[in-house]
Amino acid sequence: MRDAGITGKPGKVLVEKIGVETVGDLLRYYPRKYSERGQLTDLSALVVGEKATVWAKVVKVHDRSLQPGSGRGGRRGGLKLVTTVTIGDGRKQLTCAFFNQFHIAKVLRPGTEAMFSGTVKDFRGELQLSSPQWAVVSTPDTLDSIADPAEAKTAIEVVEQFAGGIIPIYALVEGLTQSVIQNSVRVVLDLLGPIQDPVPDELLATRGLVGLGAALRHIHRPGSRAELDHARARLKYDEALAIQLVLARRREEARSFPAEPCPRIDDGLLAAFDSALPFELTQGQHEVGEQIATDLATIHPMNRLLQGEVGSGKTVVALRAMLQVIDSGRQAVMLAPTEVLAAQHARSLRSVLGPLGAGGELGSDSRATRITLLTGSMATGARRSALLDIASGQAGITVGTHALLSDGVFFAELGLVVIDEQHRFGVEQRDALRSKGPEGSPPHVLVMTATPIPRTVAMTVYGDLETSTLSELPRGRSPISTTVVPAAERPAWLERAWLRIREEVAAGHQAYVVCPKIGDDEPGRSRARSADDEELGEPDDWDSEPEETTARRPPLSVDQVATLLESGPLQGLRLARLHGRLPPAEKDEVMQSFAAGDIDVLVSTTVIEVGVDVPNATMMVVMDAERFGLSQLHQLRGRVGRGSAPGVCLLVTEAPEASPSRVRLDAVAQISDGFALADRDLELRQEGNVLGTSQAGRTSSLKLLSLRTDREVVEDARDDAQALVAGDPGFSKFPRLLAMAQDVIDEQGQAYLDKA
């Protein structure tokens, strides 16, 4: 079906205008919307001031050219042509006015049936639609033989081509009319034989779905609302199934590799670590730990995503996995998105491991391993010795940044890859590290993220990973209260915010002030996530874009804000600046002094966004908060309230009340649960931004399926894809399923999934 080309003149137009080349393409070019006969057309019922959509027939068209320089034309600037189109429903008439639309008279010829949509106005006592949107239903050519007196009857007949009176309206581009598409579709549907359904019958029966043939017929020519609904449900399911099949196959493929099993042992590092653990694992940490331990002990590589709210204690879970692998004589590597975070991880791993992490040092425990740090900014000597540790296998745990991915890094025997804050990385980085495992035996992979992802998106974007979730926070963690500070409307609140910082500091605590940009010399950036740290990965695709891009003052910078605070509201406190442009050694020093309590207030960019763990910090003020994405703000506030004292986060903004920006910030203030916030975020944004690019003019590969509202469909499809692939990995029983996957999600969508 998909191979048959469309020929002839309409075929050429379709190919050129909308990229529809085959019969299959055309059938998948679904109507954008539908108009129902019953709700159209009664011109006598129109009310001035209301929006109306009318289906009617063009009675008369009149072009009036205006002389350049004439009084009217001069006053109206470039107005050269007014076209008046009179339309009628057989009883009553109405005029539509178009300005400078030179093609109108050619297209809307008398006899043409069309849909007009616009606001009804009173023009010199007559009803008029001014510059309405319009779509041609049929042209007079198709009605050639019908005589004039039968006009009203004809009109009805045209609509009755669409049996249920539900008329499909297709998305149009310049040079393509509704009738070209409608007629092409009609021809194709009339000639089309029975369509072989790629989806197995039993599955359709289980899910209560109609066959593909019926679905395609009815999406284009529904006989009733019910038919249309069934058609949509089926085709939606196809989209979800296509994506999930691709992902299920990828999971299956990854699982088919052999891996070195790393079972738990009784007297190894892990056991020693567990017995010295200063706190009790949360139930979640325990359960996920068991899952991972089982995965690691199997003969196929683990590919697991560990999602956990900020502060839920993912690091310990990862560390325990690393120790289990080391107990089998293998190495583990942990990739972090920033130098600050990599250094912090190395430091904290050393400190929690104590003597067990002091391998190679004099008098250390015989089971002890060594923790090696590798970042891009290391001096040559240090780098060389780190590389040697890694290549010789001395480094049980290597922590590092993107520098780990470079060609010169060789592991003696890599058994486990841990990726922290996955939202900063892509699949490429995951694969680059994976490829550093022994030939033919890829390492186990554990991916961690605190960016709460709505379930449907997780199932789609991270669909090739098994998922575990840590939802509970360790005991003794205090709640964070978040408040929006409207600086423009209530300047006093901002004053109060600075006073509050002084109070926190007086009580022995510390604070962050976060700004969207580093200094004044930076070129303006539209996103808060500046290229702040040279090691940042791609911004997470689904993070919100700030919407309002109209001229505003430039974003506040670290330099500007720090200078202001030092000499003003926070005079006398110990302030420091932190951002990605500081030399790495200095960055590390600032972080360490802050962690040691030698700095009261850290004025910083989003370098602190991920992972930074200073439990004594209890307050955060985010300047120009509307410039950050929702998930980013959630990450940021996760930096406070990590100790036993309650955390406070203030979101300072000049965005006016009820603006989209303020609505987003209010959501952050009201919703403390990251997953609920992610779902809300999804509701607040445009569908197109969820999967693939959000650039104007490029469509998401999903035509009917909504990741926002079709959660059940995605879940069903995921289960079904899993079962289909498990039972028949080569698709020998249902060979057309894969072809369908390609039909349904276009190349762009597939490429996106490949990279996700």
Binding residues vs ligand ADP (CB under 6 A): 279-282, 285, 308, 310-316, 450, 474, 611, 613, 642
The residue (of 419 and 714) whose beta carbon lies closer to Mg ion is: 419
Cβ distance 104 to 61 under 8 Å? yes
Q: Kindly report the number of other CB atoms within 10 A of residue 574's CB atom.
A: 15
The residue written with tokens 């350049």 in the block is 68
**C-beta of 645: minimal distance to ligand ADP in Å?**
14
Q: What amino acid occupies position 168?
A: P
| Contact of residue 537 among Mg ion, ligand ADP, none (CB under 5-8 Å per partner type) | none
The residue (of 259 and 450) whose beta carbon lies closer to Mg ion is: 450
The residue (of 158 and 334) whose beta carbon lies closer to ligand ADP is: 334
Can you tell me the distance from the alpha carbon of 120 to that of 128, in angstroms, rounded to the nearest whole number?
6
| Contact of residue 308 among Mg ion, ligand ADP, none (CB under 5-8 Å per partner type) | ligand ADP
Can you tell me the distance from the alpha carbon of 285 to that of 662, in angstroms, rounded to the nearest whole number?
36
| Contact of residue 203 among ligand ADP, Mg ion, none (CB under 5-8 Å per partner type) | none
**C-beta of 418: minimal distance to ligand ADP in Å?**
11
For residues 605-634, which are near Mg ion according to CB under 5 A? 611
The residue (of 460 and 510) whose beta carbon lies closer to ligand ADP is: 510
**Interface size with Mg ion, residues (CB under 5 A):** 1
What letters, b where the CB count within 10 A reaches 16 and e where it falls short, cover 201-235? eebbeebebbbbbbbbbbbbbbeeeebbebbbbbb
Can you tell me the distance from the alpha carbon of 450 to that of 674, in angstroms, rounded to the nearest whole number?
9
**C-beta of 422: minimal distance to Mg ion in Å?**
11
The residue (of 185 and 353) whose beta carbon lies closer to Mg ion is: 353
| Contact of residue 6 among ligand ADP, Mg ion, none (CB under 5-8 Å per partner type) | none
Residue whose C-beta lies closest to ligand ADP: 313
The residue (of 308 and 396) whose beta carbon lies closer to Mg ion is: 308
Q: Could you give the C-alpha distances from 542 to 449, 461, 462, 633, in angstroms and in order?
A: 14, 10, 12, 14
**Please, is 166 exposed, middle or buried when counting C-beta atoms within 10 Å of its C-beta (0-12, 13-18, 19+)?**
buried
Q: Could you give the C-alpha distances from 458 to 383, 469, 691, in angstroms and in order?
A: 37, 12, 11
**C-beta of 722: minimal distance to ligand ADP in Å?**
28
Can you tell me the distance from the alpha carbon of 640 to that of 481, in angstroms, rounded to the nearest whole number?
10
Which residues are paired to 292 by β-bridges?
none
**C-beta of 737: minimal distance to ligand ADP in Å?**
39
The residue (of 34 and 675) whose beta carbon lies closer to ligand ADP is: 675
Q: Is residue 692 helix, strand or coil?
A: coil
- List Cβ<8 Å contacts ≥24 apart for 424-430: 424/337, 424/536, 424/537, 424/538, 424/540, 424/610, 425/335, 425/337, 425/537, 425/538, 426/537, 426/538, 426/755, 426/756, 427/754, 427/755, 427/756, 428/755, 429/335, 429/402, 429/405, 429/537
| Contact of residue 316 among Mg ion, ligand ADP, none (CB under 5-8 Å per partner type) | ligand ADP
**C-beta of 474: minimal distance to ligand ADP in Å?**
3
**C-beta of 254: minimal distance to Mg ion in Å?**
24
Cβ distance 300 to 350 under 8 Å? no
Q: What amino acid occupies position 88?
A: G
The residue (of 609 and 654) whose beta carbon lies closer to ligand ADP is: 609
Q: Kindly report the number of other CB atoms within 10 A of residue 396's CB atom.
A: 27
Does the protein bind Mg ion through residue 337 (CB under 5 A)? no
The residue (of 313 and 516) whose beta carbon lies closer to ligand ADP is: 313
**C-beta of 338: minimal distance to Mg ion in Å?**
12
DSSP 608: G
| Contact of residue 312 among ligand ADP, Mg ion, none (CB under 5-8 Å per partner type) | ligand ADP
The residue (of 378 and 640) whose beta carbon lies closer to ligand ADP is: 640
Can you tell me the distance from the alpha carbon of 41 to that of 63, in angstroms, rounded to the nearest whole number?
24
Residue whose C-beta lies closest to Mg ion: 611
**C-beta of 677: minimal distance to ligand ADP in Å?**
16
Interstrand relation of 33-36 and 166-169 (parallel, antiparallel or unpaired): antiparallel
Cβ distance 416 to 346 under 8 Å? no
| Contact of residue 712 among Mg ion, ligand ADP, none (CB under 5-8 Å per partner type) | none
The residue (of 341 and 707) whose beta carbon lies closer to ligand ADP is: 341
**C-beta of 471: minimal distance to Mg ion in Å?**
15
**C-beta of 316: minimal distance to ligand ADP in Å?**
5
Residues within the interface to Mg ion (CB under 5 A): 611
